[in-house]
Amino acid sequence: MSALVVSCSGTSTHPTISAPIANSVPSESSITGVASWYGPGFDGHRTANGEVYNQEDLTAASTVIPMGSRVMVTNLNNGRSCEVRINDHGPYVKGRKIDLSHQAARTLGIVDPGTAHVRIDMVSQPDGTRPIGTPVRYYCQVGSFSQENNARRVSSRLGAYYRDVRIDEVNAGARCFYRVRMGSFANRDQARERASDSARFGYPVVIVSE
């Protein structure tokens, strides 16, 4: 899922609101590494962002590129390039940076060898997402509110017990929403532990990753 990155609040009783961040490409916007591809065994299943995976779309999975980003992938062995959208998490093999759809792998000439050394250049990424090359982080989202006062009421209650409560201001066209989150956490198990502990407050908690 793509969402705003949450940082730790400075105090436990006065949660802050982060300002919206403009959509831009960071200065460190290119990485190199090994690309692989996936498709036949996963085609038609749900991806990490909830979409139905179609191996003939130009998409890819990555844990070092923010969800929802568009990147240009260049096969350094033959010079071929194509643009893909990140809609899934993976690959979970050490040293690999991106798992391409079958269509993307075919365009780049990676289907038969299975892997290739590639350069990945950021084209665009959702507002506020983490820089390219950084690992996935997990957050406990306690709610998304149209009224700032409602978000502050929830965050103040949680902030009395947890130091990492944060309100993110999200602009969606003409409307503005306020997300109350806790984290970040290095893995899903840590996020689940917090979600379980905070369930006593009666708020619905959703674990999100970025």
C-alpha torsion 41→186→22→205, nearest 10: 80
Rounded distance, CA 31 to CA 190, Å? 28
Tokens of 135: 């690992």
Average pLDDT of 20-33?
57
Listing DSSP states for 17-77 in one string gives EEPP------SS-EEEEEEEE--TTTTTSB-TTSPBP-TTSSEEE-SSS-TT-EEEEEETT
Q: Give residue-wise pLDDT tens across range 150-179.
A: 999 999 999 999 999 999 887 767 788 898
Rounded distance, CA 34 to CA 119, Å? 9
Residue 197 three-state SS: helix
Q: Give residue-wise pLDDT tens across range 177-196.
A: 898 999 888 888 999 999 99
Query: Which structural domains are found in the chain, ordered by start?
Result: 17-22+134-209 (3.30.70.1070), 30-124 (2.40.40.10)
Going by pLDDT thresholds of 50, 70 and 90, the confidence category of residue 28 is: low
What pTM was estimated for this model as a whole? Answer: 0.60
Q: Give residue-wise pLDDT tens across range 100-109.
A: 999 999 999 9
